[in-house]
């Protein structure tokens, strides 16, 4: 049974991400954890050295947080009644990143689903700092949902790769589960760098073919940059979900620095799943 963490700041973007998660897993028995973190707007000395209960500020913040969480939970249960789903609320006096990482470990979370929480306009969608940090530090898959995304079942999935890493079933389980549930097709995209695949790359490609089975369709694209290739692929073929593996040693190392993730965000109009490398 999947255990999904849903961080929220009660913004429209975070609520859209939550609704996306509820729809993606609508046919699966799932436990969702609604997470909100709070900190005092000003860290006063008396607050830090005294009891939050004595000062009163901590109680007020916690009460407000829990009230909003319970309200959101009620709204979701009313809008999306589902006997398969259990929603648990969790409020914490902590930074978002720290609490997310702690909750992932404490509750054995399988997936984090959150909004991009960035500056948006008709032409740009920027990944917010919190989203970038969670993607970089989480040891479980993260799905970032762009704002104003009208839900589409993840039927067509784009999976860029350079075949430089060895894919194992362990770090692909979330993707495989979604693929099986929605009868999806995974479009594996390799951008040629002007050279033939090495023996190691060929080996990894064969392993990936075996792992994905008949769910996958493999594409070879000319070398024009990974971001450009993703954009062009989306123009030619409808994609509902972009998936990448967080690889620290190859081409994704160049992607997983904040400016580049935000650059991807400028062009991504579908949810973006990031898988940890095992």
Say what the pLDDT of residue 129 is.
Answer: 72
Residue 227 · residue 264 · CB < 8 Å: yes
Q: Is residue 92 scored above 80 in pLDDT?
A: yes
* Radius of gyration, CA atoms only, the chain: 20
Task: Give dist(CA 130, CA 137) in Å, integer.
Answer: 11
**pLDDT tens digit string along 26-69?**
999 999 999 999 876 555 444 455 555 545 556 788 889 999 99
Residue 275 · residue 175 · CB < 8 Å: yes
Assess whether the region 3-145 and the region 156-243 belong to the same CATH fold: yes
The whole-chain average pLDDT of the chain stands at 84
- Look up the CATH number of domain 3-145: 3.40.50.620
Mean pLDDT (whole number) for 247-265: 54
Lowest mean pLDDT among 19-33, 100-114, 162-176, 224-238: 224-238
Q: Is residue 259 scored above 90 in pLDDT?
A: no
Q: Is residue 88 scored above 50 in pLDDT?
A: yes
Q: Is residue 267 scored above 70 in pLDDT?
A: no
- Mapping DSSP to helix (H, G, I), strand (E, B) and coil, where does residue 216 land? strand
Q: Is residue 98 scored above 50 in pLDDT?
A: yes
Task: Give dist(CA 59, CA 129) in Å, integer.
Answer: 28
Q: Which class is 156-243 in CATH?
A: alpha beta
Helix H or strand E segment including 243: strand 241-246
Nearest Cα neighbor of 95 from 162, 29, 40 is: 40
Q: Is residue 127 scored above 50 in pLDDT?
A: yes
Using the Cα atoms of residue 96, residue 270, residue 127 and residue 41 in order, give the sign of their dihedral: negative
Rounded-to-5 percentages of helix, strand, coil across the chain: 45, 25, 35
All structural domains of the chain with their residue ranges: 3-145, 156-243
Q: Report the share of the chain in percent with pLDDT over 70.
A: 80
Task: Give dist(CA 268, CA 157) in Å, integer.
Answer: 13
Residue 243 · residue 157 · CB < 8 Å: yes
Task: Give dist(CA 275, CA 78) in Å, integer.
Answer: 32
Residue 54 · residue 112 · CB < 8 Å: no
pTM: predicted TM-score of the whole model, two decimal places:
0.86
- Mapping DSSP to helix (H, G, I), strand (E, B) and coil, where does residue 82 land? coil
The token duo for 77 is 């249960």
**pLDDT tens digit string along 64-84?**
999 999 999 999 999 999 999
């Amino acid at each position: 049974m999947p255990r999904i963490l849903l961080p929220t700041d009660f913004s429209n973007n975070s609520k859209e991400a939550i609704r996306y998660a509820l729809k993606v897993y609508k046919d699966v028995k799932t436990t969702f954890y609604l997470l909100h973190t709070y900190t005092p707007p000003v860290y006063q000395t008396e607050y830090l050295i005294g009891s939050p209960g004595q000062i009163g500020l901590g109680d007020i913040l916690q009460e407000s947080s829990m009230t909003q969480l319970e309200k959101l939970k009620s709204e979701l249960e009313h809008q999306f009644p589902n006997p398969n789903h259990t929603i648990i609320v969790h409020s914490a006096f902590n930074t978002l990143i720290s609490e997310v990482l702690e909750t992932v470990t404490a509750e054995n979370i399988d997936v984090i689903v959150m909004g991009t929480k960035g500056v948006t306009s008709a032409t740009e969608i920027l990944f917010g700092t919190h989203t970038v940090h969670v993607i970089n530090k989480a040891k479980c898959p993260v799905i970032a949902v762009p704002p104003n995304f009208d839900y589409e079942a993840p039927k067509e999935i784009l999976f860029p790769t350079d075949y430089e890493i060895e894919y194992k079933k362990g770090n692909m389980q979330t993707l495989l589960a979604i693929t099986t549930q929605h009868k999806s097709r995974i479009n594996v995209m390799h951008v040629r760098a002007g050279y033939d695949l090495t023996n190691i790359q060929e080996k990894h490609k064969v392993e990936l073919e075996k792992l994905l089975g008949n769910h996958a369709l493999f594409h070879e694209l000319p070398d024009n940059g990974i971001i450009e290739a993703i954009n062009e692929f989306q123009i030619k073929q409808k994609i509902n979900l972009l998936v990448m593996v967080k690889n620290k040693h190859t081409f994704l190392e160049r992607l997983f620095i904040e400016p580049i993730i935000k650059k991807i965000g400028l062009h991504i109009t579908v949810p973006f799943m990031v898988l940890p490398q095992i």
